[in-house]
Chain A
Amino acid sequence: MGSYETELKATELRLGLPGSDEPQEKRSCSGSVVRSSNKRSSPESSVEESRCKTNVNSDVSDITTTSDHDQDTVQPAKVQVVGWPPIRSFRKNSLQQKKVEQVDGNGMYVKVSMAGAPYLRKIDLKVYKSYPELLMALQNLFKCTFGEYSEREGYNGSEYAPTYEDKDGDWMLVGDVPWNMFVSSCKRLRIIKGSEAKGLGCL
C-alpha cells in the first residue's frame, strides 16, 4: 500500500502556489484524493491509472520544456493535463508565431530573455529555416538591432547580440555553427547588450 501511495503522489497535480506545502496537507484532509482504489477491486485499471494514461497521451505533452533548464526555481516538471487550461485548439495554435504542426517535447520552443525586458518570450525554432530569419524575428520581438555578423568579430557595431545556451550549459554566440546544429543544441536564447557581446567575440 505504501508504494502505491508514493505512486499516487507522483501522479497528483500540483496544488496551490509554488513552494507552499500547507495546501497539500489540507487537500489530503479534505479527501479530494478520493478516487483511491479502496473502492475499486478491479485488477484491470483504476481511475488513477487511466488518468495517468490520459496524462501520458496528452497532445500537449511538453514535460521537459521549461523546468529542466530553469535556473530560477526548483519546481518539478509539470505534467500537463489533457484539455486544461480550457483553451480551444484554434486559439492555442494561434498563440504561436506562425501556424506550424505541434512537435513533441524535444525543445523546439525555447525561452528568449533580454536584459531589462519585463518578461520572457518563447519562440519555436522549427519555424525558421536560417539565421537571418531567426535574427529578424528576434529583432522584431524585442525591438532591437543586431549588427553584422562576422566570424571574427561576432556582431560588430550593434547595441545587442544574440546568444544561446547549448546542451553543455555554455553560453555561445548565435551564428557560429551550421544552422541545423544550432537548432538541435540550443536550449534557450538570451539577448545581451553590445558591451557584454564584445567579451564573447574575443576568443
Chain B
Amino acid sequence: MQKMSYTFSFPEEVLEHVFSFIEGERDRNAISLVCKSWYEIERWCRRKVFVGNCYAVSPVMVIKRFPEVRSIALKGKPHFADFNLVPEGWGGYVCPWIAAMACAFPWLEEIRLKRMVITDDSLELIAKSFKNFKVLVLTSCEGFTTDGLAAIAANCRNLKELDLQESEVDDLSSGHWLSHFPDSYTSLVSLNISCLGNEVSLSALERLLGRCPNLQTLRLNRAVPLDRLPNLLSRCPQLVELGTGVYSTEMRPEVFSNLEAAFSGCKQLKSLSGFWDVLPSYLPAVYPICSRLTSLNLSYAIIQSSDLIKLISQCPNLLRLWVLDYIEDAGLYTLAASCKDLRELRVFPSDPFGLEPNVALTEKGLVSVSEGCPKLQSVLYFCRQMSNAALHTIARNRPNLTRFRLCIIEPRTPDYLTLDPLDSGFGAIVEHCKDLQRLSLSGLLTDRVFEYIGTYGKKLEMLSVAFAGDSDLGLHHVLSGCDNLRKLEIRDCPFGDKPLLANAAKLETMRSLWMSTCSVSYGACKRLGQKMPRLNVEVIDERGPPDSRPDNCPVEKLYIYRTIAGPRLDMPGFVWTMEDDSSLRIE
C-alpha cells in the first residue's frame, strides 16, 4: 500500500488567521486534533475557553495549553444543585482559578461562571488584576457580597457587562456599591441586578444610566419602585432589554401616563421581564410596544388569564414566553393563535406545593401551542395531568423540538385518561423529534420509556429522570443507546450497580452522571472508581463515612464525572472520592 504524504508549508500566520474565524469550542477542538502543528498553532490563538465542569481539568492545565485566553466560562455544581439536592459546601470554588489566571492571563476580558462559589476576595482580585476586564456574568452563583461588586465597579474601567443572574448576593451596602462606578465610567452595555434583595441607590443608578450611551440591557430588582421607572427609562431610551422592578404602586393617572410614554420612548425595546407584584391596571402601559416584543418573561408576575390574553394577543412577534400557569389553557390557545413565530415556551407553577390544581391549565394548552406554533423548539411545562394521546399529538405536530422538559407535579402520575404509564407518549417524543437534545421526564414510567429513549434518542445530550423505571434495564438502555449523551441526572429510581459497571466506559464519554436515592451500592462505587482512573466517582453521604456501612449498602448520592485532573482536594466531610488502583486503601 502506497503511503501518500503531503507537506503543507502554510505560514503559521495564515493558519492562525484562518482559525480566528472559528469560534465555537467544538470546532476549535476538532481543529486541534488534525495534526501536531495545528494543535500547536490553535492553542496559541485560542481566545475563548469553556470548561463545562470545573473539576474536569485544573487551572494549571488550562493555562499551560492555552496561554492567550481572553474569555473563560466555568461551570461548577451539578444541575440538581438548583433544587437543593447538593448539600451546602459541596464545592465549585472559583478561587483557585481566579488566583491562577490573575498571574497567567493579564489580558483576560471575560469571566462567565455558573453554579460556582465566588468570594469578595476573588472579585477584588479580578478587579485589580485584569486591566481590560469587560464581562462578568455570575449565573446561580453565591458566596459574595455587594462589597465585591463595589470593587468591580470601582476598578474595571472598561466593564461592559455585569450580570448577576439569580445569584445569591449578600446585600450589605444598601445600594451604595453602585456609586463606586466613577463619574468617568461610561462603557456599560448590560446590567442585571434582578437578584439583589435590597434597594440600590436610585440617584446613582440614574446618573449611571445617563452617562452610558451604549446601554442595551437593564434588569432591575424588585426594590425599584414603579414610579421611578419612567425617569430611569428616559435616561436610556436606546434600551433593547428591560427588566422592571415591582410593577405596582398606588393607582395614579400621571404615573400611568408617564410609564406609557417612557415605554413608547424606548424604540428599540424588544425584551421585557420583571413585573413583580403586578397591578393589572398598569399592564396596558406596555401595550404600545407589544408589537415589537420578541421576548417576554412574566414568570414572576401574578396576572390572571384574561389580562395575559389581552397582552399576548398584541405580541405577534414573540419568540420567547416565560409565564406562570395563571395563563391557563385559554391563554395558551391565544398564544397559539397570535404568536406564530414562537420558539420557546416555559410555563411555571404558581402553587407547586398545593394538593389540588389552582388553575385551569392542563395538557390541552401545550397541545394547542404545539399545533399553532410551527417554529416551537424549546418547551418547559409544569402541569398536573398528561396523557399519552397528548404527547403523541405534540410529537407529531412538532418534530422540530430540541428541548422538551415536562414536569407533571405529582410524581408517578399516570395517563389521566387510561391510567397507563406515559411510556408510549414520551416514546413518541423521542421517536419523532429526531434532533431532540434535552429531555426531562415525569409521570408514571416503566423501563419501556428508557428502551424508547435508548433506541431513538440518538442526538440526546441531556436527560433528567425522576421517580421512574422498574429495574437496572432502564438505566442500561440509556447508557448503551444514547450515543451523544453528555449529562445524565437521576433521582429516586430503582437503578443499581449492574448497568453502571457494564457501561463504565460510556461514562468517560459523558461530562457527568448524577444519581441520588437510587440503588447503587458503595461496593459498586469503589469498583467503578478503581476500574476507571479518569473518572472521579464521588459519593455524597450525610450519614457518615460509607466505610462504616456494609459494601452492599446503597449510597445516598453519587456524582461521577470524567476528569484529567485527578480527585479534587477541596471536598467537604460528606464527600468521598473512590480511589483508583494506584492508591488503594489498605483495610
Contact = CB atoms under 8 A, between A and B. Distances in A.
Contacts of B382: 85
Contact of A70 (B80, B195, B355): B355
Contact of A51 (B195, B414, B517): B517
14 contacts: A13-B412, A13-B467, A17-B410, A22-B419, A23-B444, A35-B554, A50-B543, A86-B83, A89-B82, A90-B140, A92-B352, A95-B300, A119-B359, A120-B358
A57 B550 CA distance: 24
Contacts of B491: 83
B412 A15 contact: yes
A34 B385 CA distance: 25
B68 interface: no
B470 interface: yes
Nearest to A78: B355
Interface in B330-353: 348-353
A140 interface: yes
B84 A47 contact: no
A76 to B, nearest CB: 10
Contacts of A15: 410-414, 444
A157 interface: no
Contacts of B556: 50, 54
Nearest to B410: A14
Contact of B84 (A51, A62, A83): A83
Q: Which 4 A-B pairs have the closest CB atoms?
A: A83-B83, A34-B494, A42-B553, A90-B166
Nearest to A91: B348
Nearest to A76: B355
A120 B348 CA distance: 18
Contact of B470 (A31, A78, A81, A91): A31
Interface in A158-200: none
B257 interface: no
A20 B80 CA distance: 31
A141 B65 CA distance: 59
Interface in B404-425: 407, 409-414, 416, 419, 421
A192 B189 CA distance: 51
Interface in A31-49: 31-32, 34-35, 39-42, 44-45, 47
How big is the B interface, by class? Answer: 35 or more
A60 interface: yes
Interface of B: 80, 82-85, 140, 166, 168, 195, 197, 222, 248, 276-277, 279, 299-300, 348-356, 358-359, 382, 385, 407, 409-414, 416, 419, 421, 440, 444, 446, 464, 466-467, 469-471, 491-492, 494, 517, 519, 543, 548-550, 552-554, 556
Interface of A: 13-18, 20, 22-23, 26-27, 30-32, 34-35, 39-42, 44-45, 47, 50-51, 54, 59-60, 62, 65-67, 70, 72-73, 75, 78, 80-92, 94-95, 97, 99, 119-120, 122, 140
Contacts of A70: 355
Contact of B355 (A60, A73, A82, A85): A73
Contacts of A72: 356
A111 B554 CA distance: 41
B414 A26 contact: yes
Given A32-B412, A86-B82, A99 B197 contact: yes
A20 B552 contact: no
B83 A87 contact: yes
A47 B353 contact: no
Nearest to A95: B350
A41 B446 CA distance: 26
Contacts of A94: 222, 276, 300
B276 A20 contact: no
A140 B279 contact: yes
| Chain B contact surface mostly | loop
A110 to B, nearest CB: 13
Contacts of A92: 352
A76 B494 CA distance: 26
Contacts of B552: 39-42
Contacts of B351: 122
Given A16-B413, A31-B471, A89-B82, 19 more contacts: A16-B412, A22-B419, A30-B421, A34-B471, A34-B519, A39-B519, A45-B549, A47-B519, A47-B554, A50-B517, A51-B517, A54-B517, A70-B355, A78-B353, A84-B411, A85-B409, A87-B348, A90-B140, A140-B279
Question: Which of A41, A47, A51: most chain B CB closer than 10 A?
Answer: A47
Contacts of B469: 32
B197 A82 contact: no
A87 B440 CA distance: 13
A22 B195 CA distance: 45
A86 B550 contact: no
Given A41-B552, A82-B85, A83-B84, A47 B276 contact: no
Contact of A88 (B140, B353, B409, B494): B140
B84 A87 contact: no
B279 A88 contact: no
A86 B407 contact: yes
Contacts of B85: 82-83
B419 A32 contact: no
Given A16-B419, A23-B414, A41-B550, A75 B355 contact: yes
Nearest to B80: A83
Nearest to B350: A95
A45 B543 contact: yes
A119 B419 contact: no
A31 B407 CA distance: 22
Nearest to A53: B543
Question: Which of B195, B276, B414: most chain A CB closer than 10 A?
Answer: B414
Given A84-B411, A88-B140, A27 B444 contact: yes
Contacts of B348: 87, 91
Contacts of B554: 35, 40, 47
A20 B419 contact: yes
Given A20-B419, A84-B466, A85-B349, A66 B409 contact: no
A81 B411 contact: yes
